[in-house]
Structure 1
Amino acid sequence: MHWRMDIPFRYTRAVAAVLCLLLCGSVVLNACADKPAKPKKENRRAESHQIELLEQSWLQALTKSDTTVLEKLMSDDFLAISANGTLSDKQQYLQRVTSGINSFRSIDVMDIKVRMQPSAAVVVSQVRVLGQLDSHPVNAVFRYTKVYGRAANGQWRVLNLEATRVSGPDEMGMHRGTPLSMRPNQEH
């Protein structure tokens, strides 16, 4: 291969500059393609607000014993752990509401925090509940954690719910702070 040496220097410099720009642009594009896109704050706020609206729908459905709404909000593999440790799947949870074993006159949200993830949302809330749990009257404060997952169609569904009693009478069958008994072979 034979190089021409009579090409004016300014053309060589221009070609080198264009090649440099193309190379830099290629490096930047490759670096951007390797990094996952960060959701914009506005998108996170909008999704967080959407979860808060779903929470309102859930609580309103509970106070109205509206299992149709609850069922639409639940994933098929939904699991709930009540404040007394009862584990319920979707059908069992809905049956407890339908039968009136669990009924709610009011659920007042005292605090709510929503943490967004790419395909999940975690809600931590504190509520005052007035009604009936496991056929026992209840007027107590609970904290609960609810996990939402994004379904294949983009809709949010409740995957898991767990409640913990913060305050309320011992007559509810829940004794606050009662430790698990030690096994005979365990040391203190």
Structure 2
Amino acid sequence: MATTSAAEQPLLDLVREWSAAELAGDWAALGDLLTGDFVGVGPQGYLRTREQWLARYSSGAVRTTSFTVDEVRVRLYGDTAVLIAAQTQRSTNKGDNADGAFRFTLIAVREEGRWRLAGLHVSPNAAAAATP
């Protein structure tokens, strides 16, 4: 089992806060975690600005009943970090099934002493989907 360094712990805390906000659909909490120029890339390649990412929740379009993140790997580069993890969810988007297993890459930056998410890239996780 890998150990967590003191420098990595705030980033793991950020992932936990982000996961909890995504699960709860708490767009206000998410807004506090994202940089002003945040960009999310979805599993089909679409781009969403910070405002578009938050609007999925503030509008009620996305409803999530399960959001689990594991296998988090942290790479630090000064005031920037790259995190790669596995994620599964049970959710709907505008009433359509959005369940899935994904891999994501988060880009975090330290602003005024605090870590925030500047970017997110989501890809389908075929390896997890193939597991019985």
Same fold (TM over 0.5): yes
Contact map agreement 1:100 1:135 (CA 8 A) in 2 = no
Contact map agreement 1:96 1:102 (CA 8 A) in 2 = yes
Summarize the alignment of residues 8-157 of structure 1 with structure 2, pairs less than 5 Å apart: 45-133=5-93, 135-151=95-111, 153-157=112-116
**Relative CO higher for 1 or 2, CA cutoff 8 Å, sep ≥ 6?**
2
- Mapped pair 1:158 → 2:117: yes
Structure 1 vs Structure 2: percent identity of aligned residues? Answer: 24
Give the aligned residue type for 2:106.
K
Counterpart-to-counterpart distance in 1, 2:41 and 2:17: 20
Counterpart-to-counterpart distance in 2, 1:139 and 1:52: 24
Give the aligned residue type for 1:71.
G
Counterpart-to-counterpart distance in 1, 2:51 and 2:21: 16
Deviation of residue 61 (structure 1)?
Answer: 0.5
Alignment RMSD, CA only?
Answer: 1.6
Q: Which structure: larger Rg? A: 1
Contact map agreement 1:74 1:90 (CA 8 A) in 2 = yes
Deviation of residue 86 (structure 1)?
Answer: 1.7
- For residues 57-109 of structure 1, give each alpha carbon's deviation from its aligned partner in whole angstroms, at most 9, with x where no partner exists: 10101111111111111000000011122211111110012223222211122
4+ long deviations beyond 4 Å = none
- Residue 58 of structure 2 aligns to a residue whose secondary structure is helix
The alignment's TM-score, normalised by the length of structure 2, stands at 0.86
Distance verdict in 2 for CA 1:56–1:137, change over 3 Å: same
Aligned pair count reads 124
Counterpart-to-counterpart distance in 1, 2:86 and 2:61: 22
Q: Any unmatched runs of 5+ in structure 1?
A: 1-43, 169-188
Q: Any unmatched runs of 5+ in structure 2?
A: none
- Residue 124 of structure 2 aligns to a residue whose secondary structure is strand
Counterpart-to-counterpart distance in 1, 2:79 and 2:93: 32
